[in-house]
Amino acid sequence: MKRFLIVVGILFALGIVGVFAITKIDFNRINASNYYLQITEDGIPHENKLDDGSVMTSYSYKLDATNEDGKTISLEFTAHKSLRKDAYLKMYVKKDDQVSSYDEVKLEEIPKKAQRRLE
């Protein structure tokens, strides 16, 4: 009986850790390379009609991004809203050019080599 309660306690603890991991960890950012870019142009709007008849608009962008070593690549990505012009973004890139996520950052948060390329 004591062994059964220990096993149940361990499984309960693992379940709690699993729920925490699923809700708090963004798996799109794990094992991703970081690139930085500045929004310099408006995105191209794309309207998609949903099954319920409503229309969802997304915006596509094609911009050059630089990593912390100064290497520059061209990235294509979409956003669910029009991104603010002149905003700096930290891009999470997998498989060389697939954007999995992004965050808006301040210029001071960008590594120096990437800052020089963006200016």
12-25: pLDDT as tens digits: 889 888 888 777 77
Predicted pLDDT at 104 = 93
60-79: pLDDT as tens digits: 999 999 999 988 999 999 99
| Cα 115 from Cα 70, distance rounded (Å) | 9
Degrees (nearest 5) of the Cα angle 85, 99, 94? Answer: 145
Whether the Cβ atoms of residue 32 and residue 92 lie closer than 8 Å to each other? yes
Whether the Cβ atoms of residue 104 and residue 57 lie closer than 8 Å to each other? no
Say whether pLDDT at 119 is over 80.
Answer: no
Phi, then psi, of 50 in degrees rounded to 5: -85, 170
Whether the Cβ atoms of residue 75 and residue 89 lie closer than 8 Å to each other? no
22-69: pLDDT as tens digits: 777 777 778 889 999 999 999 999 998 888 988 999 999 999 999 999
Ranges assigned E (strand) in 5-119: 33-38, 44-49, 55-66, 72-79, 88-94, 98-105
| Cα 25 from Cα 61, distance rounded (Å) | 26
Quote helix, strand, coil % in the chain, to nearest 5. Answer: 30, 40, 30
Predicted pLDDT at 93 = 93
Model confidence, pTM: 0.77
